[in-house]
Amino acid sequence: MSIYREYDIRGIFEKELNEDTVTKIGFALSAHIEGDYVAVGYDARAHSPVLFEYLVAGLNAGGKTVLGMGLVPTPVNYFANYQAFDGVTPTASIMITGSHNPPEYNGFKITIGQAPFFGEQIYALGREIDTMAFPSKAERRVKEIDALERYKAYMIREFAHLKGMNERIVYDCGNGVAGVAIKDIFDGLALNAKGIYVDPDGTFPNHHPDPSDEHNLADIKKLLEEEGDIAFAYDGDADRIAVLTHQNNIKGDQMALLYAMKIENPTVIGEVKCSQVMYDEFARRGVNAVMYKTGHSNIKVKMKELDADLACEVSGHIFFKNRYFGYDDAIYATLRMLELIQDGIDPDAELAKLPQVFSTEEIKVETTEQEKFKLMDAVKNALKQPPEDFPHIKDIIEVDGVRVIFDKGWGLVRASNTTPVLVTRFESTELSEAKRYEEALNRLIDSAKESL
């Protein structure tokens, strides 16, 4: 059951994701999908094509025909849900990807009826599969489609106005799947772009494909310094982005402030990890900004509910409904950032206008899958009667974990939905206060651990 996560299904190839389990996943999912066609693509991991065949067998046994996309970025998989191929529109899509996890991992991101299949839906699927007999074999039914070429043509057409930009663009695909799309799009737009680690390689020989980790940005920073004006880096399946200038590593919440400048009267969704600066600046502009749960599936559902134009996660998931379809797409976000620059917006100058705050990166507190939610409950209880020397609490927001509002900043503690950790983050207008909040909440977490 540990492979069934909040946002997707994820585990180690063969150990957890083996022929029996994956075939059953395909078969069980078939009962949740209306219509006959399911679009399936996969990332660069060596075992992704093997999992594709296992999944196909299950989907075929469940009466579905697979529209095979081959090697594609996750955003292309999402894109396929809005397209007709020879008169056939898929009613669901499944992306086989381990995202930014180590090479031995893989998994499935599932979309049904243009909406994420997640949370209790996934947990219930796991319980169903746990007691299910092996499905009967069926004739292999796979219809190959070229969703990738359709996607690239769409981007080149929608951003034709970027042709002739003089900016020197450098980018790092991290040997993930971004390279199968972004290079051709840049070439099709005749942009001055140079990429590194563009060829997909699921062993990730150069660095781990996670641009939210500064260690993985060393090579692209060097290339930016020597040959670029702006830089982009992508995670393993190209649904997260890092944007770098000579002065800034622009986080997802800062990107949202920039993107919203060119959207009229937007509604914007942020997560609990976003800086208070973002929420305050949107309030100053008169923008409707909503704080919501972390997680790409949560945010997509909330975007649809509120008919929001834009959403962001600090880690680099950027979602556009304005002029797009409402899902996270790092390649599309790249082109929208270049569009801002072409329109005369200087990201560094805009960020320099914002109040200065001191923020930590995400700090992870190790625990176990069995204990993390119990520990989170213990932290919440401890905050009801904190120690006498604990910083003054102005408010507690429990949208996702606890965001504790202090006099000069805030601290966040939440249970990760994908890994056995608590995730913390701290921010203040004063560096010493940010450290004080971090130390105080860490002591509280330690005490809560001891109480379990």
Q: Which of 10, 45, 240, 296 is catalytic?
A: 10
Q: Which of 317, 403, 414, 436 is catalytic?
A: 317
Say which amino acid occupies 292.
Y
Q: Is 127 a residue of the active site?
A: no
Distances (CA, A) of 151 to 163, 327, 329, 332, 380: 18, 14, 12, 10, 45
What does the DSSP assignment read for 20-62? Answer: HHHHHHHHHHHTT--SSEEEEEE-S-TTHHHHHHHHHHHHHHT
Specify the pairing of strand 37-42 against strand 393-397: unpaired
- The residue written with tokens 């800062």 in the block is 254
Measure the CA–CA gap between 75 and 65, rounded to whole angstroms.
21
**Residue 451 has what DSSP assignment?**
H
Residue 39's beta-bridge partner residues?
A: 67, 93
Task: State the Rg of the chain over Cα.
Answer: 22
Specify the long-range contacts of residues 50-55, CB closer than 8 Å, at least 24 apart. Answer: 50/13, 51/13, 51/17, 51/22, 51/96, 51/106, 52/96, 54/18, 54/19, 54/22, 54/23, 54/26, 55/22, 55/23, 55/25, 55/26, 55/94, 55/96, 55/108
Residue 195: strand, helix, or coil? strand
Q: Which of 99, 359, 416, 428 is catalytic?
A: 99
Our measurement of the distance from residue 295's CA atom to the centroid of its chain's CA atoms, rounded to an integer in Å, reads 7
Distances (CA, A) of 326 to 72, 296, 310, 344: 19, 11, 8, 26
Residue 68's beta-bridge partner residues?
A: 40, 144
- What are residue 114's phi and psi, to 5 degrees? 65, 20
Q: Is 99 a residue of the active site?
A: yes
Q: Which two tokens stand for residue 286?
A: 């008169």
User: Alpha-carbon torsion 443, 444, 449, 452, what sign?
Assistant: positive
Q: Which two tokens stand for residue 135?
A: 């499905």
Q: Which two tokens stand for residue 165?
A: 């930009």
Distances (CA, A) of 99 to 73, 239, 260, 299: 10, 9, 27, 18
Measure the CA–CA gap between 2 and 10, rounded to whole angstroms.
8
Contact 217, 209 (CB under 8 A): no
Residues with a catalytic annotation lie at 10, 99, 317
